[in-house]
Chain A
Amino acid sequence: MHNIVKLVAQRMALGLLVLFIVSLIIAAGVDALPGDLCQEMQGQSATAETLEACRKEIGLDKALPLRYADWLGGILKGDFGVSLANGRQISELIGSRLGNTFFLAGLAAIISVPLALALGILAALYRNGIYDRGVNVVTLSSISFPEFFIAYILILWLSVNWGWFPSLSNVGGDTPLAERAYKSLLPALTLTLVVVAHMMRMTRASIINLLASPYIEMASLKGMTKSRIILKHALPNAWAPIVNVVVLNLAYLIVGVVVVEVVFVYPGLGELMVDSVRKRDIPVVQACASIFAATYIILNMTADILSIVTNPRLLHPK
């Protein structure tokens, strides 16, 4: 156990370092965007004087390193700063949106992860059969369509034609859980269709990859049933690659859902970020991007740790 604590501590330290580097890149990237908030707000009526006054007022006249240092100092104190566009606290602005994004991602994950694992395990069990081919065709098709296309198809059938679900997911802070889940179900289904294929195929491939191992042959020669061989002998050794793909997809569910959020007018973080980029509201963009980066880092770290915990060689050293 001691080793694992040490390893996790190392990974965390590395994660923080990566986060710091990412924040530098974001700051540089955002700075490289053409135009700024003042130009955006004043539009055609801008003059050199008004622009300068505006920049001075919101601190845009300072050099990039200085602005970055201010921002970093604030973050370390837990202060994300204020939005340049409307003067609201960013933490407040992001708070509810972040909750919404996590809720949608969580809902999609609860549906898609068990589904993908089950489909993958069954595909490995009945490999090269009709079921296997069928499930491959279906999941590959669903991943090949753009998300907004799937979203509109689902809206057309499940919402417009049959009227089962609302096409707008306008959830608010006080929406009760059941209603929230009901309203978020269509975007969650869309996301499920997008991510299931990866996870299912990786589950199938990782298991099949192991079926040529001598210990699988041994299990057959001990007279074990096919399903027991897959579940008890292959799956426990296949976790590492599966977990990694699952985690990548979870990260996608959190950071890659902008299009789906826009289609369903779902008030999530992606929508906020796109909006803020348009307005050149740099502190908000920076905060969103940092949160997304942190999500990736934390999830990947989780994948690493899970790969270790599921590997007896690392968990039980000699």
Chain B
Amino acid sequence: MSSDGGKGDLLLTMRGLRIEGQSDEEWHEIVKGVDLDLHRGEVLGLIGESGAGKSTIGLAAMGFARPGCRISAGEIVFDGVDLMKASESTKRKLRGVRIAYVAQSAAASFNPAHRLIDQFSEGPVEHGVSGRAEAESDARELYGKLLLPDPDRIGYRYPHQVSGGQLQRAMTAMAMACRPDLIIFDEPTTALDVTTQIEVLATIKNIVEEFDTAAIYITHDLAVVAQMADRIKVLRFGETVEEADTATMMTSPQQEYTKTLWAVRSFKKEPIPAKSKEPLVSVKNVTAAYGAVPVLHDVSFDIYRGKTVAVVGESGSGKSTTARVITGLLPPREGQVLVNGEPLPGDYRHRTKAQLRHAQMIYQMADTAVNPKQRIREIIGRPVSFYLGLSGRRLEERIRELLSLIELEPDKFIDRFPGELSGGQKQRICIARALAAEPEFIICDEVTSALDQIVAEGILRLLDRLQRELDLAYMFITHDLATVRAISDEVVVMLKGRIVEQGPREEMFTPPHHEYTDLLLSSVPEMDPHWLDDLMERRRRDGMMASTSTS
């Protein structure tokens, strides 16, 4: 699969594409003159951080601009049709038939009110491509090709009755319904667990090859794009940074920015020598349930002062529930949590202020974890006055100190609202809020998952520095093994509410592993463009696909 060999003629061209977005009654340029060529049957990877304009360009390939956006200049020609000049009805007839779209969140992009197969058939039937019965039998066939379990019946379910990975494949099937010439994949696996992602990637890759469909594959994950694309285009701030075929791009990126993207995964913390033998926090034989549904089974691990324990697992494995038990939001059925050897009451309402102060949380979505109507001063100041009883000038001083600690300039930020901050800055505010209580122990729940890699790396470095300076213990919940590799001292691997393996980082990343840890580790995409093919080949040999394809 190379861009110059066996691929067909030009399918899509963009010249000088400019797109503007509206905010505060003003139009700002988000895409600033991008050129793009795509040949029949070719897969082009668009890569960049959020705000680079990737999705906007992807949608523009369908002649579509989101509400609040407009295509202001340039040329978009799809197979001889000028999409800038085409009427709404001409474009409508292309969409779904010749150009299809696969969205990031399949769960949100399937209509909850209709069955999967109805949504599949809608395109072909409404566009007059095929009849209803024909569309349904085609759906069943495609579901089979995409390795969905029970392909004859799964279509008759509603979206909420199907798992995330299955939905994403069902959406790919839906995009294929009219056998389009071009599919736009907009971060289709970003919301999925690493073990699920790999299956979706493999099935997408196969089906695109089988039908010789051209694709624009949008992602912020380099390793993923390396597996999927023939050619890669790097974007930043709405402009092309560079473009080359995948092999060249992976081995010898030309631009400085691309090199920093490539280098991002290099952060790895220096091991901290053990200081104390007594654990700071011990989770002992905890079993917990939501109502009648058991979620945690006999979970035990220790966290030492100044150390980081990474808790890894897929969604639903009980990582966050463990955090809820430690913070007292969910009293355990059995077992207990000890801090400095003293058992804590199971319910946070029965804990003393001092006990509460020692365990703080940082959440995944900084957006929703801060009150948008409060200024930074109040957000950070509240725990300072609540736990430490400071007020007036001393409170003000402490808030400024905390802001300096998280590397945000106090004068500039103290009176801002969260809405005026970037995602990374908001997460820093959440860190400052946790630090405000002067805790010994912080639970970080997927704190970097919603951030771009470069921003995420900054957060990880900050957390590492704070740990050294303040001797903090972290419980770091994540599904991202690259993060685990970067920051952990100890690793706990969870599956279905149980701990399957735990130990020091070096041990966990060196074989032999527990079977499930092995699956997790081997599913992390690597930069090598042949990695996915090789892995699939290996797993097919081992017959592992059979046992995991139902996830």
Give chain A's interface residues, CB within 8 Å of chain B.
Answer: 212-215, 217-225, 228, 232-233, 236-237, 310, 312-313, 316, 318
**Which of B62, B101, B126 sits near A224, CB closer than 8 Å?**
B126
Besides A215-B109, A221-B100, 14 other A-B contacts (C-beta < 8 A): A212-B67, A214-B103, A218-B103, A220-B95, A222-B174, A223-B94, A223-B126, A223-B127, A224-B122, A232-B114, A232-B122, A310-B113, A312-B112, A316-B158
Residue interface bits B166-183, CB-to-A below 8 A is 1, else 0: 000000001000000000
Q: Whole-angstrom distance between the alpha carbons of A218 and B64 in the complex?
A: 11
By the criterion CB–CB under 8 Å, are B92 and A236 in contact? no
| Residues of B92-150 contacting chain A, CB below 8 A | 92-97, 100-101, 103, 105, 108-114, 122-123, 126-127
Chain B residue nearest to A313 (CB atoms) is: B160
CB distance from A209 to the nearest CB of B (A): 13
Q: Whole-angstrom distance between the alpha carbons of A228 and B126 in the complex?
A: 10
**Which of B93, B97, B158 sits near A312, CB closer than 8 Å?**
B158
**Which of A212, A221, A316 sits near B161, CB closer than 8 Å?**
A316
**Which of B59, B109, B158 sits near A313, CB closer than 8 Å?**
B158
With A212-B67, A318-B161 known as contacts, the answer to whether A221 contacts B96 (CB < 8 A) is yes
B92: which A residues are within 8 A, CB to CB? 223-225
By the criterion CB–CB under 8 Å, are B95 and A213 in contact? no
Q: Whole-angstrom distance between the alpha carbons of A214 and B106 in the complex?
A: 9
B174: which A residues are within 8 A, CB to CB? 222
With A221-B62, A221-B64, A222-B122 known as contacts, the answer to whether A215 contacts B93 (CB < 8 A) is no
**Which of B62, B96, B113 sits near A236, CB closer than 8 Å?**
B113
By the criterion CB–CB under 8 Å, are B95 and A236 in contact? no
With A215-B109, A228-B126, A236-B113 known as contacts, the answer to whether A221 contacts B158 (CB < 8 A) is no
B66: which A residues are within 8 A, CB to CB? 217
By the criterion CB–CB under 8 Å, are B113 and A221 in contact? no
By the criterion CB–CB under 8 Å, are A223 and B113 in contact? no
By the criterion CB–CB under 8 Å, are B123 and A222 in contact? yes
Majority DSSP secondary structure for residues of A touching B: helix
By the criterion CB–CB under 8 Å, are B67 and A215 in contact? no
By the criterion CB–CB under 8 Å, are A222 and B96 in contact? yes
With A220-B95, A221-B64, A313-B160 known as contacts, the answer to whether A215 contacts B122 (CB < 8 A) is no
By the criterion CB–CB under 8 Å, are A214 and B105 in contact? yes
By the criterion CB–CB under 8 Å, are A219 and B111 in contact? yes
By the criterion CB–CB under 8 Å, are B123 and A215 in contact? no
Sorted nearest first, the 3 A-B pairs with minimum C-beta distance are A223-B95, A222-B96, A236-B113
27 contacts between A and B (CB under 8 A): A212-B67, A215-B109, A217-B66, A217-B103, A218-B103, A218-B109, A218-B111, A219-B111, A220-B64, A221-B59, A221-B64, A221-B101, A222-B101, A222-B174, A223-B93, A223-B95, A223-B96, A223-B123, A223-B126, A224-B122, A232-B114, A236-B113, A237-B112, A312-B113, A313-B112, A316-B158, A318-B160
By the criterion CB–CB under 8 Å, are B111 and A237 in contact? yes
With A221-B101, A222-B95, A223-B94 known as contacts, the answer to whether A312 contacts B108 (CB < 8 A) is no
Chain A residue nearest to B157 (CB atoms) is: A316
With A218-B103, A221-B95, A224-B126 known as contacts, the answer to whether A236 contacts B114 (CB < 8 A) is yes
Q: Whole-angstrom distance between the alpha carbons of A217 and B64 in the complex?
A: 10
B97: which A residues are within 8 A, CB to CB? 223
By the criterion CB–CB under 8 Å, are A217 and B109 in contact? yes
Chain B residue nearest to A225 (CB atoms) is: B92
A224: which B residues are within 8 A, CB to CB? 92, 96, 122, 126
A220: which B residues are within 8 A, CB to CB? 64, 95
